[in-house]
Structure formats: C-alpha cells, structure tokens
C-alpha cells in the first residue's frame, strides 16, 4: 500500500504535493466542507444512475413515446390505470410472484444447508468454500447458456443421463414445454443465487464464537439441539433479510430468464421485466414500458417499507 | 445398545471416522454443485459434431483444442474481453472512490436526518437494472452516452454503489476515532489523519467493495444489452450470445468463452474470500 502510494507521490513534484495537501487540510478541517466534498461524488452518481431514471420513468409514463418517433404526445395518468387493468400486465405480475417466491424458497433451503456444510474448519475448507461460492460469481448469461445446452431435448446431457438411468422414456424439452419451463428456469436460476444466501449466512456463521458450541457440548446437547439453540437464533435474522431482498430481486430478474426462454414457450415465463423489455424494445412503446417501470417502483417502495420494518438496517448507523 | 466407541474402537479413531465421513459428505455435495462447471470444461474440449450427436462416449473421445483456438484467434473474443475489463475497472474505481469518501464523511460528521439518508441509500439497493435501463436508454441517448463504454460504466455503477456506500459507512464506524485524535494532538490535520490512519484501516472494506463492484460489472448483461448495440463495444456477457448464429449455436465455442469467465471468478473466490465474507458481514 505505502510502497505504491510513495511511488505515486514521487511522480508528482513536491511543491504541488505540498500545495494539494494544504488545500485538502483546509477542506477537511471544516465539517460542512468535508461533508460536501465527501458526499458529492457518491450522491451525484447515485442521482444520475438511480434517482433520475426513476423520476424520468414516472414522467415518461404520462406520454406516448416511441423509440422510432422523437415526438412526445401527452396521454396523462390514465395510462397507468390502463396498464394496471391490462391482462398482459396482470399475468406477468402473477408469473413474477410465482418465480420470485418459488425460487427464493428453493434458494433458502439450498443456500443455508450449503453454508452449514462448509462453515466448519477442516483441511481444504478454503477450497471447499471457494467452490461453494463460485456460482455466485459466474455471470448469469453464462449460466443461462450452459443451462440451455445441458437441457436440450436432442443432445442435452441431462436428457441423455435420465434416459440411460431409466427415469425418462423419451427426451423432454424442459425449456420448451409450458408445464416444465417455469420450474426449470427457477432451478437453473437458483443454482447461482442460492449462493447469495450462502454468502450472507456463512459470513454470520463465521462470527459465532466456537466456545458457544463447546458450552452446549458440555451441557450434553446433541447436534440437533446445538443447531436449534445456538446456530438458528443467530442466523434467523440474516435468513429473513436474505429472503426479503432475494424475493424482490428474483421478482425483477431479467437476464437468466431472457437468455434461457425469451419469455416462452408462448408467454409461459414472461415475468414483469421481460414484459417491460418486450413492450419497450420489440413493440417500440417506450411510454407504456416506462409506465410499467413506474408502477414497479411503487411496488418496490411498498416492499421496501416491509423490508425496513423487519430488518431495520438503518439502526446500524451510529448517531453520536 | 452396546457401546462401540471405547470398547471396539478408540475415541480418537471414532473422531477421525466422523471427520472423514463429514468431509465425504461435503465434497459429494460440492461435486454435485459443480457438475455444470465440469460439463463446461468437457464441452470446451469437444468437437461440435460429437456434442450435437449427444453420444457421451463420442464426446469424451473427441478431445480437441480447436474451439479454444477458434475463440481466441478467429472471433471478436479479445475485443469483448478488453471491453469487459475496461468497464469493470471503471466501475471499480468509481464505486470505491465515491463510497470510501462518502463512508468517511457520513461517519465523522454529525448531522440530522442520517437515518433517512441511510434508508434513501438502501432503497437504491432494490432498483432492478431492467426497469432503470428503459428510462436510461432515453437519458443516455440525450447525453450522447449510448454506445459508449463510459455510459456503460455509469449505468453499471448503479448496482454496486448503494452497497458500497453502505459497506464503507459501516466500516468506518469500526475504525476508532482515538487513532485519528492522536494525529490531531500531534498537530496533523484531519486530512492527514484520514489519509494516513483511517484509510489504511478501511482497506479491507475497500477491497470488499471493489470485489463486489468488479463482479457485478463483469456479470452484467442487462445494461450492455439495452445500451450497447455496436459489436466492437460489447462486453463478454452480450458478446457470448454472438456465438449463437440464427438458432445455430457453436456450443463448444460458447463453453470455451464460459470457461474464460469462470476462471477469473474462481481465482477471486479462492484468494479473496476473506474480504468477500468481511463485506457481507457488514451488510447483514
């Protein structure tokens, strides 16, 4: 660290360095100026990439705008009501709910068990943890492509193995059938995102002191009792937080579903984000797509109220 | 029930059997988790004919490095890879600098409404990329940031930024102010105590934020899909789908590209997992 910074320092003439040190010392001394200097980059970036697009979506939703036509035509807030009552939107919302809750239930079970498995110290634990955390780092688009390849009806390895073992008689197009497409996307998507639950849980598990377990052993607790009375109370909250965040994120998941099915077969896996993408970039109706986005931001705000009530993350901020 | 341990085998042996069987369970579970990755490796080194014929023994018998060579020397792979690296580097720098400064300011300066500011920042944690990308498409068009790597850097920063600000905020709270006070006692300014004391102590947090920023940019598909249409500016994620031409997919080449995405991911979780867990400890 210091070697690097010394080299950088050596590149700059001493006079400039002293001068900038003096200026920054002056800025940092005053509370208000310090706050301005520190917060401006972060808040400016935050407003540009998150707040501005959100407000823009609300404004845009009141107009008829096409990607092909630069003229904005005022339509008014009636548009939002139209979207809410449209069958396509409601169906997509329902599918988002199914996809969100279904995959999160799956992710919690897999993710927490995985965390419990690799938490203990043993030879090769670092490698085991690296392997367990790997899926979260692999891009969703890569997972989607691999999933498509492995699940293919003609030459996919999963069909080959299932037929060889005798579970299936004929190959099944898992992603092409209305009955199986949604469930399949859920499972493949969860391969990656279960590991987010693992990450949060593992981080918490690693901070439980070993002597808690030793104490429980002394008192004659068996493995199940130790889990119930020592582990579970300490990870309960983390699991809840992970579930709340993950449900919302899966609800709005775009990439993995888009890569694997493009929303098909038919509209079977068209969740809200795929519906919005379809409207914006295939039907060229940016106004309506912005309306969908605006409605989803309202939904998001409602969900975040629940999240803030339950998790109370802002309590971590120290106010001295 | 007869007591086996103590009579037939020693306690030491029993403990060893327990630990070995535990490890067998762990590695079996991890092997099951890794099956897709193993298939990626096999696919990378197989001929396309064998893969499309769907015959396992033929696939394993068709070892070739042709797909890797095709990808490296006869496709746009290098361009995609470079774009991915440039964008990821930009996102890391923006996120780490902005959130470190913000974290320090928010910890050391007292003002009213901090909890609301915290909620405001955490709210950004939930914004879905696709829904942001639709208005962004128009805004970026007006700003001339469509089809530009800088525009992509800005867009992709929206994902790790709230996490970064939040992590650094909590991290600076764990850096005791006493150390900084001793610098002030010795006549140093707050700038010096920030630069020489607080910053080095917050380094693990900065690394955690950097990793998160890197991986979220490296993985991002939605923003480049919407904001980049020029092939020479595509990152790896949207570049990957270019290996599928009109319903015909060069699966072995796709698997080769996937493998080049998996390897850096693995190196990261292996060597930097301490920082990774540190960062997530702060979030929960």
Write the DSSP string, B106-140. Answer: HHHS--TTHHHHHHHHHHGGG--HHHHHHHHHHHH
Task: Return residues 236-295 of A near B (CB < 8 Å).
Answer: 237-238, 241-242, 245, 248-249, 252, 254-255, 258-259, 273, 276-277, 280-281, 286, 289-290, 292-293
User: Between B66 and B149, whose confidence is greater?
Assistant: B149
What is the pLDDT at residue B173? 86
What is the pLDDT at residue A69? 67
pTM value is: 0.84
* For residue B274, pLDDT beyond 90: no
Cross-chain Cβ contact B261/A139 below 8 Å: yes
B221 vs A25, A139, A245: nearest CB: A139
What is the percent of chain B with per-residue pLDDT over 70, rounded to a whole number? 97
B53 vs A155, A202, A319: nearest CB: A155
Q: Where would I find the beta strands (DSSP E) of chain B?
A: 244-245, 248-249
pLDDT tens for each residue of B36-64 = 899 889 888 888 877 887 777 777 877 88
Q: In sequence order, what are the residues at sequence separation of 6 or more whose Cβ sits closer than 8 angstroms to the Cβ of residue A229?
A: A216, A221
Rounded average pLDDT over B141-152: 90
The lowest-confidence range among A66-70, B66-70, B166-170 is: A66-70
Pair type for strands B248-249 and B244-245: antiparallel
- Is the preceding peptide bond at B83 cis, omega within 30 degrees of 0? no
How many whole angstroms from its chain centre is CA A84? 25
The lowest-confidence range among A218-227, B87-96, B214-223, B226-235 is: A218-227
Q: Please provide residue A62's backbone torsions phi and psi, each rounded to the nearest 5 degrees.
A: -90, 0
What is the pLDDT at residue B283? 54
Rounded average pLDDT over A93-121: 89
* CA atoms of A212 and A216, how far apart (whole Å): 6
* For residue B1, pLDDT beyond 80: no
- In sequence order, what are the beta bridge partners of B244? B249
User: Mind telling me how many Å the CA of A241 is from chain B's nearest CA?
Assistant: 7
Q: Please provide residue B250's backbone torsions phi and psi, each rounded to the nearest 5 degrees.
A: -80, 85
Greatest mean pLDDT among A59-68, B186-195, B252-261 lies in: B252-261
Cα separation values, B111 from A315, B101, B107, B166, B190, Å: 16, 16, 10, 17, 18
* CA atoms of B166 and B127, how far apart (whole Å): 15
Q: Which 3-state string (H, E, C) describes chain A?
A: CHHHHHHHHHHCCHHHHHHHHHHHHHHHHCHHHHHHHHHHHHHHHHHHHHHHHHHHHHHHCCEECECCCCCCEECCCHHHHHHHHCHHHHHHHHHHHHHHHHHHHHHHHHHHHHHHHHHCCCCCHHHHHHHHHHHHHCCHHHHHHHHHHHCCCCCCHHHHHHHHHCCCCCCCCCCCCCCCHHHHHHHHHHHHHHHHHHHHHHHHHCCCCHHHHHHHHHCCCCHHHHHHHHHHHHHHHHHHHHHHHHHHHHHCCCHHHHHHHCCCCCCCCCCHHHHHHHHHHHCCEHHHHHHHHHHHHHHHHHHHHHHHHHHCHHHHCCCC
Chain B residues near residue A52 by CB distance under 8 angstroms: 135, 139
Rounded average pLDDT over B156-165: 90
* For residue B223, pLDDT beyond 90: yes
Domain residues of chain B, as ranges? 1-34, 45-73, 75-283
* For residue B284, pLDDT beyond 50: no
* CA atoms of A35 and A304, how far apart (whole Å): 27
* For residue A14, pLDDT beyond 80: no
A1 vs B123, B169, B203: nearest CB: B203
What is the pLDDT at residue B83? 93
B273 vs A129, A191, A241: nearest CB: A129
pLDDT tens for each residue of A203-232 = 888 888 888 888 888 888 888 888 888 888
Give the count of beta carbons closer than 10 Å to the beta carbon of residue A262.
14
Chain A residues near residue B253 by CB distance under 8 angstroms: none
Cross-chain Cβ contact B110/A135 below 8 Å: no
Q: How confident is the model at residue B87 (pLDDT cuts 50, 70, 90)?
A: very high
Q: How confident is the model at residue B233 (pLDDT cuts 50, 70, 90)?
A: very high
Cα separation values, B102 from B93, B202, B238, B257, Å: 14, 13, 32, 37
Contact B98, B164 (CB under 8 A): yes
* CA atoms of A110 and A124, how far apart (whole Å): 21
User: Mind telling me how many Å the CA of A132 is from chain B's nearest CA?
Assistant: 7
What is the pLDDT at residue A35? 85
* For residue A200, pLDDT beyond 80: yes
Q: Domain B75-283 in CATH: superfamily?
A: MetI-like (1.10.3720.10)
What is the pLDDT at residue A50? 87
Would you state the structure tokens that stand for residue B28, as one six-digit string? 């079996």
* CA atoms of B281 and B284, how far apart (whole Å): 6
Give the count of beta carbons closer than 10 Å to the beta carbon of residue A53.
27
Q: Please provide residue B248's backbone torsions phi and psi, each rounded to the nearest 5 degrees.
A: -105, 120
Would you state the structure tokens that stand for residue A66, as one six-digit string? 């096409």
Q: What is the mean pLDDT of chain A?
A: 84
pLDDT tens for each residue of A130-148 = 888 888 888 889 899 899 8
Cross-chain Cβ contact A129/B27 below 8 Å: no
User: Between A243 and A10, whose confidence is greater?
Assistant: A243
Chain A residues near residue B172 by CB distance under 8 angstroms: none
* For residue B154, pLDDT beyond 90: yes
| CATH numeric code, A79-316 | 1.10.3720.10
Rounded average pLDDT over B113-117: 84
Chain B residues near residue A207 by CB distance under 8 angstroms: 281
| Partner B contacted by A63 (CB < 8 A) | no
Quick one: which of A156, A201, A210 has its CA closest to A180? A156
pLDDT tens for each residue of A39-70 = 889 999 999 988 898 888 888 888 877 766 66
* For residue A191, pLDDT beyond 60: yes
* CA atoms of A282 and B162, how far apart (whole Å): 31
Q: How confident is the model at residue A9 (pLDDT cuts 50, 70, 90)?
A: low
Q: In sequence order, what are the residues at sequence separation of 6 or more whose Cβ sits closer than 8 angstroms to the Cβ of residue A110?
A: A190, A194, A197
Give the count of beta carbons closer than 10 Å to the beta carbon of residue B144.
10
What is the pLDDT at residue B2? 62
Quick one: which of B145, B149, B154 has its CA closest to B98? B154
Quick one: which of A73, A86, A67 has its CA closest to A292? A86
* CA atoms of B225 and A96, how far apart (whole Å): 21
Residue to mutate among B131, B250, B274, with most A CBs inside 10 A, is B131
User: Between A9 and B117, whose confidence is greater?
Assistant: B117
Task: Return residues 99-128 of A near B (CB < 8 Å).
Answer: 114, 117-118, 120, 122-124, 126-128
Cross-chain Cβ contact A145/B241 below 8 Å: yes
What is the pLDDT at residue A190? 87
Instruction: Look at the alpha carbons of B155, B158, B164, B169 in this order and tell me if their dihedral is positive or negative.
Output: positive
Rounded average pLDDT over A155-172: 83
* CA atoms of B227 and B269, how far apart (whole Å): 29
What is the pLDDT at residue A1? 46
Contact B5, B14 (CB under 8 A): yes
| B248 secondary structure, DSSP code | E
What is the percent of chain A with per-residue pLDDT over 90, rounded to a whole number? 10
What is the pLDDT at residue B55? 75
Pair type for strands A73-74 and A63-64: antiparallel
B124 vs A50, A252, A276: nearest CB: A50
For residue B193, the number of C-alpha atoms closer than 13 Å in the C-beta half-sphere is: 21
User: Mind telling me how many Å the CA of B217 is from chain A's nearest CA?
Assistant: 10
Chain B residues near residue A122 by CB distance under 8 angstroms: 19, 22-23, 26
What is the pLDDT at residue A36? 85
* For residue B153, pLDDT beyond 90: yes
Q: What is the C-alpha R_g of chain A?
A: 26
Q: How confident is the model at residue B79 (pLDDT cuts 50, 70, 90)?
A: very high
Domain residues of chain A, as ranges? 2-60, 79-316
Contact A79, A288 (CB under 8 A): yes
User: Mind telling me how many Å the CA of B18 is from chain A's nearest CA?
Assistant: 12
Cα separation values, A101 from A88, A108, A251, A261, Å: 20, 11, 8, 19
């Amino acid at each position: 660290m210091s070697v690097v910074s010394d080299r950088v320092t050596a590149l700059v003439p001493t006079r400039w360095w002293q001068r900038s040190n003096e200026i920054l010392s002056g800025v940092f001394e005053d509370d208000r100026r310090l706050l301005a200097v520190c917060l401006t980059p972060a808040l400016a970036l935050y407003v540009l990439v998150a707040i501005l697009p959100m407000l823009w979506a609300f404004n845009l939703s009141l107009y008829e705008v096409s990607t092909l036509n630069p003229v904005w035509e005022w339509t008014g807030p009636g548009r939002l009501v139209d979207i809410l009552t449209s069958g396509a939107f409601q169906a997509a919302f329902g599918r988002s709910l199914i996809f969100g809750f279904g995959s999160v239930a799956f992710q919690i079970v897999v993710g927490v068990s995985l965390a419990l498995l690799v938490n203990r110290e043993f030879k090769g634990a670092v490698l085991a943890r690296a392997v367990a955390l790997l899926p979260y780092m692999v891009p969703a688009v890569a997972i989607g492509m691999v999933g498509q390849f492995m699940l293919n009806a003609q030459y996919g390895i999963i069909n080959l193995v299932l037929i060889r073992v005798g579970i299936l008689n004929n190959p099944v197009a898992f992603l092409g059938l209305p009955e199986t497409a949604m469930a399949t996307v859920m499972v493949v998507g969860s391969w990656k995102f279960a590991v987010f639950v693992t990450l949060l849980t593992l981080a918490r598990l690693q901070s439980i002191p070993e002597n808690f377990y030793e104490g429980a052993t002394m008192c004659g607790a068996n493995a199940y009792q130790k889990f119930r009375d020592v582990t579970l109370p300490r990870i309960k909250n983390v699991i809840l937080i992970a579930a709340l965040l993950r449900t919302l994120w899966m609800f709005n998941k775009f990439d993995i579903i888009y890569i694997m099915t493009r929303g098909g077969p038919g509209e079977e896996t068209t969740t809200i984000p795929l519906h919005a993408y379809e409207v914006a970039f295939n039907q060229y109706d940016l106004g309506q797509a912005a309306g969908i986005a605006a409605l989803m931001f309202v939904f998001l705000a409602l969900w975040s109220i629940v999240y803030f009530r339950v998790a109370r993350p802002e309590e971590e901020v120290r106010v001295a | 029930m007869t007591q086996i341990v103590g009579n037939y085998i020693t306690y030491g042996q029993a403990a060893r059997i327990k630990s070995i069987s535990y490890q067998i369970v762990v590695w079996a579970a991890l092997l099951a988790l890794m099956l897709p990755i193993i298939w990626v490796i096999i696919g990378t080194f197989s001929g396309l004919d064998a893969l499309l014929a769907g015959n396992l023994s033929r696939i394993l018998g068709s070892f070739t490095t042709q797909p890797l060579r095709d990808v490296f020397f006869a496709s746009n792979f290098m361009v995609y890879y470079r774009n991915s690296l440039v964008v990821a580097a930009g996102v890391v720098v923006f996120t780490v600098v902005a959130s470190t400064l913000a974290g320090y300011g928010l910890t050391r300066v007292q003002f009213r409404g901090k909890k609301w500011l915290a909620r405001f920042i955490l709210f950004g944690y939930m914004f879905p990329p696709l829904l942001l990308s639709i208005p962004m498409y128009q805004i970026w068009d007006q700003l001339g940031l469509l089809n530009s790597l800088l525009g992509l850097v800005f867009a992709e920063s929206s994902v790790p930024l709230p996490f970064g600000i939040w992590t650094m905020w909590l991290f600076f709270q764990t850096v005791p102010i006493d150390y900084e006070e001793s610098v002030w006692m010795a006549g140093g300014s707050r700038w010096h105590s920030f630069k020489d004391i607080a910053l080095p102590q917050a380094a693990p947090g900065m690394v955690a934020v950097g990793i998160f920023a890197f991986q979220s940019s490296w993985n991002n598909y939605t923003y480049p899909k919407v904001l980049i249409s020029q092939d020479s500016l595509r990152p790896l994620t949207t570049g990957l789908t270019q290996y599928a031409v009109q319903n015909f997919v060069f699966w072995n080449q796709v698997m080769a590209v996937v493998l080049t995405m998996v390897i850096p991911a693995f190196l990261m979780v292996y060597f930097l997992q301490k920082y990774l867990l540190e960062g997530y400890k702060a979030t929960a």
